[in-house]
Structure formats: structure tokens, C-alpha cells
Amino acid sequence: MNERDTETIRGLLRQEGYSFTDSPEDADLILYNTCCVRENPERKVYGQVGQLQELKAKKPGLIIGICGCMPQQEEELPVMLERLPHVDLFFGTHNIHRLPELLHRINATGERVVEILDDGGEPVEGLPALRDNDFKAFVTIMHGCNNFCSYCIVPYVRGRERSRTPEAILDEIRNLADAGVKEVTLLGQNVNSYGKDLQSDTDFADLLEMVNEVPGIQRIRFTTSHPKDISDKLIQQLGSLDKVCEHLHLPVQAGSNNVLRRMNRKYTREYYLEIVEKVRQAVPGISLTTDIMVGFPGESDADFADTLSLVEEVGFDSAFTFIYSLRKGTPATEMADQVPEEVKKERIYQLIDLQNKISLKRNQALVGSEVEVLVEGASKSDSHMLTGKTRTAKTVLFPGSQDLIGELVKVKIVEAQTWSLVGELI
């Protein structure tokens, strides 16, 4: 979501006449789009922006700004204002479209500008975007989240759910297709509740069907799906819409019902396993990925063992694994029995170790198969090798000419690794 917002920011800046540089020394404006979902990225922002103090002293005309989720937090903003006195501009997640105006104000007055809105209001349409990639694109279909999982800061910094209209989404996707984009990823914190706030009765499954009709688009992906809201209708669509890729990212977070209840996830382990079963029946060969957290307050050894056994039972293709991180203002921060850091670390190593073994096994089962790959670029370590993604969202490396970048090709898998596959063009 932040990456997509950055594309809008870059689009707005280009309209204002800015060009882009990789070197901070050459920049007239340095803008950090921040995440606050865990503590680590926040720490990095303080570190990196702190270091710009020297540059700012050498080049007083330089404008430094921080936007996104960090300044959107009521408790963090005053800390940032004090700890980062050389930062000229702060704005949040709801007023990205106001960036040109805020920059004009700084240029006109030379004063620090801070503008944080409490509420997103209706989605703002018609904003430009500068995307890096010519053949795949993120498309935001909804903003915000209504779920309030007890560990999560997102609903506080991104506001309530607001869906874009199907017309606005389809317009954007048609324009992307006309510009040569082949793959779109539909974005929302919980795409399964798309449309619930709209007048029309289009739901997410209907939206997928509409996007499937757009000529030129060849692959459709989406993220993220909350297990509690996945409908039978959607599961059927996954199996029947030809452009919708055989991949579902379905964050489980934990395998213990005690922990799931205190996380306010509103489903049980048994329910999750039922969904997995249904999805695998409807879409043979689908790859399943997930998010899992360890060290949620009160997580006992037995609870953690439930997470390991769920991971084994499902056999995810891969998983993003996280150590629970306290977020100010969320209910879990106030819970008793916070898990000691050493225990959290020990658990995450165990979890990663198990998942790696499973990922490798699942990849090994693909050796000898033929897959469709969207070629994304040359491999960083060997320019004779291309890299791309299967419909199941797996990375494949294979020898080939750079002319194929942006094309869909057929590849035979010859070798499996934990994180990627190696293949040969057919």
C-alpha cells in the first residue's frame, strides 16, 4: 500500500516539474514515506532521517519531508517534531493529494508545514502515478480497515474502509492495459470486504469478474484477504476466472484458538483449515502463502506448538514471519504476559526453519513441470539469467535474452531451491 502511495507521490512531483535522483546530495527534496506496522522500520526512519541533519546544514535550501503512517499516529507525531528539528514537512496518509500545495507553502514561507487529517473521506480520484514497471501495476481498490486486530496499528493510521467505485477502478485498469500493462495486483487491507460501503451491490467476486473482462490484462492478483470474509462465491471465482492467478495470500497469524481469539481475528484454526481445503478443491495446484506472528502476549509453548502444527498441516508455499511488536494505542500492548524477547527469537527461528523445509519440498514437487512466467528482468547476480514470476507467484530464474523482459514465456522447471526455481525456456 505504501509503495502504491509512493507512486502517486512521484506522479504528483513529476507534474510539479521534479525529476528523480538516487543521490541525496543532488536532491532538492527528500521525502520519506513511512510504515509503522512494526517498530523496526520506525527505528530506521529516525536513524536515516537523523543522519540528514549534516546535509541540511550544508544545503539550507534542501526540503526534508516525512509522510505516511508514522506521522499519522497521534502519539508519534509530537515525538517526531521534537526529535527531527531539521524536517520541514510532515503529512499523513489521508492528504497525499495536497503535497503540491504543501510544498508551495514551504517555498513561500520558509516555515515548517505539518498537516495531518483525521479522516480520509471519499477516495480521491484522478491523481497521477509514476510507476517503475511497464508491464505490471498495483491498483488500490479500497483504503482503510475496519477489523481492529488487537495487535495492529493499521486501522488507526489508514482509517475506516472506503472502496473506490468499480468504474474508477476499471478506468484505471483499462488505461494501464492500453499502456501495455499485463498484470495487475488489486490492493486493499482486506479486499474481501470490497464494496460493502458502496451504494451498488458489487462485491469483490463481482469486481474480479469485471477486471477479468478487460482486454490486454493477462494476469490478476490481489492482496490481502482476511480469512473471516472469504466467501464461497469468491472461492468459485478463483477457480473459474481465467486471468485470476492460482495464488492466495491468506494471513493466518497463529495456529492456536486462544491466541486467535485474543488477536480478535474472528475465526478459529478449524475454520481456517476448512477454507484451505475448499480453496484447494476449487483451484488445483493453487499456491498458498501467509503471514504468521510469534510472541503475541500470552502465547504459551503449547500455543506456539499449535502454530507449528498448523504450518505443517497446511503446507504453505511460503510465509512472511514476524516477531510480535508492541504498537502504542493498540489493545495488545496493554495485555499481561508479554513474551520475553529471547523466547520470541527462539520461536521465530524454529518457525522459519520449519517453513523453509516445507517451501523447499513444495518447490521440489514442481521439478519437471512446465509453467508460464512473466519475465521481470535480468538476475542481479548473473545478467545472462532472467528472473520472473509464475502465476503461482514463485520466482523462476532461467537463461534467456533481455528482449524477453515484459513477456509471458513457457519455462520448464529443472531445479528447486527454498526461495526460487531454476528453469529452461521451452
Residues forming the site for ligand 5AD (CB under 6 A): 37-38, 151-152, 251, 253, 291, 293, 322, 324-325, 327
Q: Could you tell me how many residues of this chain bind ligand SF4 (CB under 6 A)?
A: 10
Which stretch in 5-13, 150-158, 319-327, 347-355 sits in contact with ligand SF4 by CB under 6 A?
150-158
Q: Which is nearer to ligand 5AD, 35 or 409 (CB)?
A: 35
Is residue 189 within the footprint of ligand SF4 (CB under 6 A)?
yes
Cell triple for residue 69? 503512517
Which member of 147, 193, 321, 363 binds ligand SF4 (CB under 6 A)?
147
Is residue 193 within the footprint of ligand SF4 (CB under 6 A)?
no
322 binds, among ligand 5AD, ligand SF4, none (CB under 5 to 8 A by kind): ligand 5AD
**227, 230, 426 from 378: Cα distances, Å:** 36, 36, 18
Crossing angle of helices 232-240 and 204-212, rounded to 10°: 10
Q: Which is nearer to ligand SF4, 221 or 391 (CB)?
A: 221
Q: Which is nearer to ligand SF4, 145 or 169 (CB)?
A: 145
Is residue 149 within the footprint of ligand SF4 (CB under 6 A)?
yes
Is residue 292 within the footprint of ligand SF4 (CB under 6 A)?
no
Distance of closest approach, residue 406 Cβ to ligand 5AD, in angstroms = 29
Q: Which is nearer to ligand SF4, 154 or 245 (CB)?
A: 154
**13, 14, 406 from 19: Cα distances, Å:** 8, 6, 25
| 180 backbone φψ class: left, alpha, beta (φ>0; ψ -120 to 50) | left
Of 137, 111, 108, 100, the closest CA to residue 10 belongs to: 100
Of 17, 144, 15, 148, the closest CA to residue 92 belongs to: 144
Is residue 190 within the footprint of ligand SF4 (CB under 6 A)?
yes
Is residue 154 within the footprint of ligand SF4 (CB under 6 A)?
yes
Is residue 320 within the footprint of ligand SF4 (CB under 6 A)?
no
- Those residues with Cβ within 8 angstroms of residue 416's Cβ, 6 or more apart along the chain or in another chain: 360, 363, 364, 366, 367, 422
Is residue 226 within the footprint of ligand SF4 (CB under 6 A)?
yes
Distance of closest approach, residue 398 Cβ to ligand 5AD, in angstroms = 31
Burial of 401 from C-beta contacts in 10 A (0-12 / 13-18 / 19+): exposed
Is residue 148 within the footprint of ligand SF4 (CB under 6 A)?
yes
389 binds, among ligand 5AD, ligand SF4, none (CB under 5 to 8 A by kind): none
155 binds, among ligand 5AD, ligand SF4, none (CB under 5 to 8 A by kind): ligand SF4
Q: Which is nearer to ligand SF4, 155 or 315 (CB)?
A: 155
Q: Determine the distance from the C-alpha atom of residue 60 to the mean position of all C-alpha atoms in its chain, rounded to a whole number.
A: 35
Which stretch in 93-101, 149-157, 359-367, 370-378 sits in contact with ligand SF4 by CB under 6 A?
149-157
Count other C-beta atoms under 10 Å from residue 114's C-beta: 17
Q: Which is nearer to ligand SF4, 224 or 338 (CB)?
A: 224
Distance of closest approach, residue 78 Cβ to ligand SF4, in angstroms = 24
Positions touching ligand SF4 (CB under 6 A) are: 145, 147-149, 152, 154-155, 189-190, 226
